[in-house]
């Protein structure tokens, strides 16, 4: 229990520091933020108005707490460039797209890497194992934007299987939505496959040397049954750790994939805002992403205890 | 190997336990060739990047000087442009080499800074413990709370992307992992005799950290440096590709690949695939070298 409280306190401190860091972005801007955002040749009133909008005339602490107060009440301010929509609206529209892409990417990458790891672990150092390990090592060196471009060149342009750009909301037509999201999700998934496969393969190989596997074999269980029902669960702890860590790179991949496939998710929102110096949008989006990421990681931490009884005993 | 061994459906328990490792059991000539290829590739890239201004390269940046040059030429078709030209008639080979300057400088410098900072903070946190460790822990967790690419984009919103600002941004992104690694290593080293001896001889914490711990911690971090370099090169290229890293006309591998966006890739695939291949080979080489270094180092640790 004490450990739980400790964790929650740490979580709150981290989130507070993230909010300070996000807020401080404006002060990192060289020179006057208003000039940096609007560019040099605008009417003087525009600068004054923007300085008011950014609250640059108030002391720093007042500005920070004002911003944080609004953010906590769910108001992230307004976009600084046309169309001057509220950041909430922008983030609200973009978030489901990114979330779905990341979730699909994670599921697809697990669906690829778990069978690959099982096939590899069946005969360590065999021909198949070596081929798979060479393949994953190669994929590891392909950045996701290159992978995406290759997929577009091969699958979209040559084979015409998947459409390239367009996003159909899930609520409108679930099947069409999945169909359109498939290629971006595969691009995201590819980046994670090497790590997942290697980690799970390593653990499976050592689990397969345990006595209970021998007894299962002695009972005459087929190999695939042993692999899935006996060996997988005790080998999955490191995989869960790595999945938790992979969330950051998953989010990074969604940024790239959204730009590549022109989808309007959080990533393209941030990139476009960043390009024109639209700080409030960047701040709002970064804050939302960071909060989600920290909370998901906290959930992953709890998941360990559910899956691995040893940890449950150690912490309570 | 006896016949029945090969037919086993699962990795069967043998009478003598076999140590589990990713390593291949025997030296493989083929694999060594690959290693040498990677070393040669990296050597060539590094040399070309260092001596780029001295090489007889065609124009890489200034489009006003290439008005008469053919545009979008595929490789090996125009004399003087071995890898062809881009949409502005700029020489792709020259742009690759100037792009390598940026990628390598940024990647290597960021890892060097990240290692120095990470080793100092991580080692002191691991040795001094207490409040300092807690502060460092919260700071690393905070940096890790924002996914790396998002943090980089946020920073490039407010800092004008340049080689210097990118280096520091990437170093910032790399440091939390390195701090954690240094701290974990320190915790292990602190249990060892030579630290006990140093403390028994009256060494103050500063001396133990600087003279005893840091050299060991840094050595063990070295094996990861190549992997970090490759990760940061990809990050820099990603930023360039997204348009929030090094901006045109200065070439970087990322923004060169982005030149093929918007339908140009279909017409002129070489715009994308030449820089993508160079990026792939470089990242692959750093990864492979890093992997080999890690194995080498692990062996050393075992033999100690």
Residue A122: closest CA among chain B residues belongs to which residue?
B10
Instruction: Give the model confidence (pLDDT) of A172-202 as tens digits.
Output: 666 777 777 888 899 999 989 998 998 899 8
Q: Is the dihedral of CA A279, A283, A286, A289 positive or negative?
A: negative
Q: How many CB pairs under 8 A join A and B?
A: 172
Neighbours of B303 (CB within 10 A): 6
Instruction: Give the model confidence (pLDDT) of B138-161 as tens digits.
Output: 889 888 888 888 889 888 887 878
**What pTM did the predictor assign?**
0.84
A86 has which bridge partners? A78
**Residue ranges of the domains in chain B?**
81-303
pLDDT at residue B303 in the model: 38
Backbone angles phi, psi at A78, to 5 degrees: -120, 150
N-terminal to C-terminal alpha carbon distance within chain A: 6
| HSE value, Cβ hemisphere, 13 Å, CA-based, for B146 | 28
CB within 8 Å: B146 and A271: no
How much is the average pLDDT of A41-52?
75
ipTM: 0.84
CB within 8 Å: B158 and A275: no
Instruction: Give the model confidence (pLDDT) of A305-316 as tens digits.
Output: 677 666 665 544
Chain A residues with CB under 8 Å of B241 CB are 145, 256, 259
How much is the average pLDDT of A92-106?
88
> In a 10 Å sphere around its CB, with 0-12 CB exposed, 13-18 middle and 19+ buried, how is residue A156 labelled?
middle
CB within 8 Å: A256 and B144: no
How confident is residue A36, by pLDDT bands cut at 50, 70 and 90? low
| HSE value, Cβ hemisphere, 13 Å, CA-based, for A79 | 18
How many angstroms separate the CA atoms of A296 and A277, rounded?
A: 29
A78 has which bridge partners? A86
Instruction: Give the model confidence (pLDDT) of A259-300 as tens digits.
Output: 888 888 888 888 888 877 778 888 888 888 888 888 888 887
Chain B residues with CB under 8 Å of A210 CB are 13
How much is the average pLDDT of A25-49?
71
How confident is residue A106, by pLDDT bands cut at 50, 70 and 90? very high
On whether the CB atoms of residues A98 and A265 are closer than 8 A, the answer is yes
CB within 8 Å: B283 and A141: yes
Q: Which residues of chain B have pLDDT under 70?
A: 1-31, 297-304
CB within 8 Å: A255 and B242: yes
What would the two tokens of residue B275 be? Answer: 């820089």
Task: Locate all alpha helices (DSSP H) within chain B, ordered by sequence.
Answer: 3-6, 29-50, 92-128, 130-145, 148-158, 163-190, 193-200, 205-207, 214-242, 253-258, 264-267, 270-303
How many angstroms separate the CA atoms of B244 and A195, rounded?
A: 27
Q: What CATH number should be reported for the domain whose range is B81-303? A: 1.10.3720.10
pLDDT at residue B54 in the model: 82
Min Cα–Cα distance to chain B from A68, Å: 17
pLDDT at residue A250 in the model: 87
Q: Is the dihedral of CA A144, A145, A148, A153 positive or negative?
A: negative
Arithmetic mean of pLDDT over chain A: 81
């Amino acid at each position: 229990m004490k450990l739980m409280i400790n964790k929650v306190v740490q979580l709150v401190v981290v989130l507070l520091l993230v909010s300070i860091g996000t807020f401080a972005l404006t002060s990192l801007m060289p020179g006057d933020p208003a000039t940096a955002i609007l560019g040099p040749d605008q009417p003087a009133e525009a600068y004054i108005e923007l300085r008011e909008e950014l609250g640059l005339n108030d002391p720093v602490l007042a500005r920070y707490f004002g911003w944080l107060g609004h953010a906590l009440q769910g108001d992230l301010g307004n976009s600084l460039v046309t169309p001057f929509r509220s950041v909430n609206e922008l983030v609200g529209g973009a978030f489901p797209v990114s979330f779905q892409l990341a979730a699909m990417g994670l599921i697809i990458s697990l669906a690829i890497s778990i069978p690959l790891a099982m096939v590899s672990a069946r005969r360590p150092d065999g021909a198949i194992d070596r081929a798979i390990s060479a393949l994953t090592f190669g994929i590891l060196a392909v950045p996701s934007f290159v992978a995406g471009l290759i997929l577009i060149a091969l699958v979209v342009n040559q084979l015409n299987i998947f459409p390239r750009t367009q996003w159909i909301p899930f609520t409108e037509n679930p099947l069409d939505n999945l169909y359109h999201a498939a290629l971006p999700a595969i691009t995201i998934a590819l980046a994670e496959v090497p790590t997942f496969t290697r980690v799970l393969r390593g653990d499976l190989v050592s689990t397969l040397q345990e006595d209970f596997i021998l007894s299962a074999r002695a009972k005459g269980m087929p190999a695939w049954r042993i692999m899935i029902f006996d060996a997988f669960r005790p080998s999955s702890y490191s995989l869960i750790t790595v999945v938790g860590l992979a969330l950051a790179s998953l989010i990074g991949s969604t940024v790239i994939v959204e730009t590549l496939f022109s989808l309007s998710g959080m990533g393209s929102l941030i990139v476009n805002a960043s390009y024109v110096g639209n700080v409030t949008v960047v701040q709002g989006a970064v804050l939302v992403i960071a909060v989600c990421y920290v909370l998901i990681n906290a959930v992953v931490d709890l998941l360990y205890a559910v899956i691995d009884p040893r940890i449950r005993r150690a912490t309570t | 190997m006896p016949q029945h061994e090969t037919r086993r459906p699962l990795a069967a328990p043998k009478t003598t336990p076999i140590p589990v490792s990713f390593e291949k059991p025997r030296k493989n000539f083929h694999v060594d060739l690959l290693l040498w290829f990677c070393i040669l590739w990296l050597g060539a890239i590094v040399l070309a990047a260092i001596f780029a201004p001295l090489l007889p390269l065609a124009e890489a940046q200034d489009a006003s000087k290439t008005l008469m040059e053919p545009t979008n030429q595929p490789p090996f078709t125009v004399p003087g442009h071995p890898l062809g030209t881009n949409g502005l008639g700029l020489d792709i080979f020259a742009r690759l080499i100037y792009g390598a300057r940026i990628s390598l400088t940024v990647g290597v410098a960021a890892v060097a800074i990240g290692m120095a900072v990470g080793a100092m903070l991580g080692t002191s946190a691991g040795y001094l413990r207490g409040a300092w460790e807690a502060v460092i822990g919260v700071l690393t967790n905070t940096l890790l709370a924002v996914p790396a690419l998002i943090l980089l984009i946020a920073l490039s919103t407010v800092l004008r992307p340049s080689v210097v600002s990118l280096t520091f941004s990437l170093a910032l992104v790399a440091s939390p992992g390195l701090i954690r690694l240094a701290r974990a290593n320190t915790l292990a080293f602190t249990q060892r005799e030579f630290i006990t001896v140093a403390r028994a001889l009256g060494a103050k914490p500063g001396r133990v950290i600087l003279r005893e711990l840091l050299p060991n911690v840094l050595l063990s971090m070295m094996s990861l440096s190549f992997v970090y370099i490759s990760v940061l090169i990809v990050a820099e290229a990603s930023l360039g590709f997204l348009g929030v890293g090094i901006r045109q006309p200065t070439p970087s591998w990322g923004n060169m690949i982005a030149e093929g966006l918007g339908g140009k890739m279909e017409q002129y695939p070489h715009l994308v695939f030449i820089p993508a291949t160079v990026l792939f080979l470089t990242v692959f080489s750093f990864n492979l070298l890093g992997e080999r270094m890690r194995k080498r180092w692990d062996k050393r640790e075992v033999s100690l």
